[in-house]
Amino acid sequence: MGTLLQLARWGLLGRSLSLVQTARSLHCGVSSWIHVKLPPEPKEVDRWTEKRALFGVYDNIGILGDFQVHPKDLITGPRWLQGWRGNELQRCIRKKQFVGHRMFDQDYKNLNKRIRFLYRRFNRTGKHR
């Protein structure tokens, strides 16, 4: 009994040393301990960082400005995806049009393979072709 208690305490200590999450033990019999793992504590999220406080600002710049700027001009990201949406084949083709001339050799070859595979997949197999 004493050994079991010591083992339980060691187990508890070991767990709390390695993780923040504590474990507790239930003693439900003469000699049986059930280690109950508690769910992880929710992480503290600051809802008022600069990015979160100013999210969405200038989304209506077209309507409230004089339509000189479109909200798609605010999007930052790969140039072949700014203000545009497509499925995977369309994205691959557009990427090849925009940046294919300056891609690394292996990446360019993989892109071409992917285009070839997707073209055949979409246009030659399945119900919708």
Q: Which residues bind another protein (CB under 8 A)?
A: 48, 53-68, 70-72, 74-75, 77-78, 81-86, 88, 91-92, 95, 110, 113-114, 117
Closest distance to another protein from the beta carbon of 58 (Å): 5
The token pair that represents 92 in the structure block:
């691959």
Please state, in angstroms and rounded to a whole number, the distance separating the CA atoms of residues 75 and 81: 9
Please state, in angstroms and rounded to a whole number, the distance separating the CA atoms of residues 119 and 129: 10
Please state, in angstroms and rounded to a whole number, the distance separating the CA atoms of residues 97 and 2: 73
Nearer to another protein (CB atom), residue 30 or residue 64: 64
Report the length, in residues, of the chain. Answer: 129
Closest distance to another protein from the beta carbon of 29 (Å): 42
Nearer to another protein (CB atom), residue 82 or residue 123: 82
Q: Which residues pair with 34 in a beta bridge?
A: 26
Closest distance to another protein from the beta carbon of 2 (Å): 45
Nearer to another protein (CB atom), residue 12 or residue 61: 61
Closest distance to another protein from the beta carbon of 118 (Å): 9
Q: Which residues pair with 37 in a beta bridge?
A: 23
Nearer to another protein (CB atom), residue 34 or residue 75: 75
Query: With contact defined as beta carbons under 8 Å apart, do 122 and 129 qualify?
Result: yes
Please state, in angstroms and rounded to a whole number, the distance separating the CA atoms of residues 19 and 37: 11
